[in-house]
Amino acid sequence: MPKNGAINRERILDAAQHLVIENGFAATSVDQVLKAAGTSKGAFFHHFDSKVDLARALTERYVTADIGHLRTALDATASISDPAERVVAFVRHFEDSAEEVMSAQSNCLYVAVLTEQQLVSNGTADLVNHAIEVWRKEIADLLTAAATSRDRDLGDVDALADHVFVTFEGAFLLCRSTGTPEHMRAQLGVLRRLLATTLGTA
């Protein structure tokens, strides 16, 4: 039953992702995941060797989706010929999907993963690093093109590119702490305005 097996695996991952994002990894038991997914311990251990293996699979899937969101935003802005305007539109793309993102989850899985030393130590955080590096590279390319076209000095372009990740993660924590998901759009708006002024499009 490869097809049903794959469906079952996704259902377990969906249930686990929700629980881990809401409650943290250590506070989520395999039994809670089984109950939420409506599946058996046998089915779980058919797909995952352990809870740590589940965390790795969850993170892999989340990283793939995360890089997918990046590619979608790059594609959606690819036709903008002014590189500085493209940077601003790239951030605005995420602003426009902020409510959708925040209605689906109250935090970022990366926060839950990075809080757990065992996941940082066992290589699961390396998957997050991969996402960080892909985002950094693509955004640094956008910023470099914009800086060249506008003759601006952006300083450390890699660090400025990383500031997109930093804004997302920091805004997730601000939303989570205050219980106000609207902060995600507001913080992406702050980032867009700061970049627009720096690139001279504002």
Binding positions for a second copy, rule: CB under 8 A = 22-27, 107, 110-112, 114-118, 120, 125, 128-129, 132, 155-156, 159-160, 162-163, 165-171, 173-174, 176-179, 183, 186-187, 189-191, 193-195, 197-198
CB of residue 8 to a second copy, shortest distance in Å: 26
Q: Which is nearer to a second copy, 72 or 117 (CB)?
A: 117
Q: Which is nearer to a second copy, 82 or 189 (CB)?
A: 189
Which residue in 106, 76, 113, 80 sits closest to 94, CA to CA?
76
CA gap 167, 170 in Å, rounded: 5
Q: Which is nearer to a second copy, 64 or 118 (CB)?
A: 118
Q: Which is nearer to a second copy, 80 or 194 (CB)?
A: 194
CB of residue 201 to a second copy, shortest distance in Å: 12
CB of residue 143 to a second copy, shortest distance in Å: 11
Q: DSSP per residue over 19-44, as a string? A: HHHHH-STT--HHHHHHHHT--HHHH
Q: Which is nearer to a second copy, 77 or 187 (CB)?
A: 187
Structure token digits, residue 94: 């995420």
Q: Are 150 and 85 in contact (CB under 8 A)?
A: no
CB of residue 53 to a second copy, shortest distance in Å: 17
CB of residue 10 to a second copy, shortest distance in Å: 23
CA gap 171, 10 in Å, rounded: 28
Which residue in 166, 187, 189 sits closest to 178, CA to CA?
187
Q: Are 176 and 156 in contact (CB under 8 A)?
A: no
Q: What's the CA angle centered on 52, arms 122 and 131, to 5 degrees?
A: 60
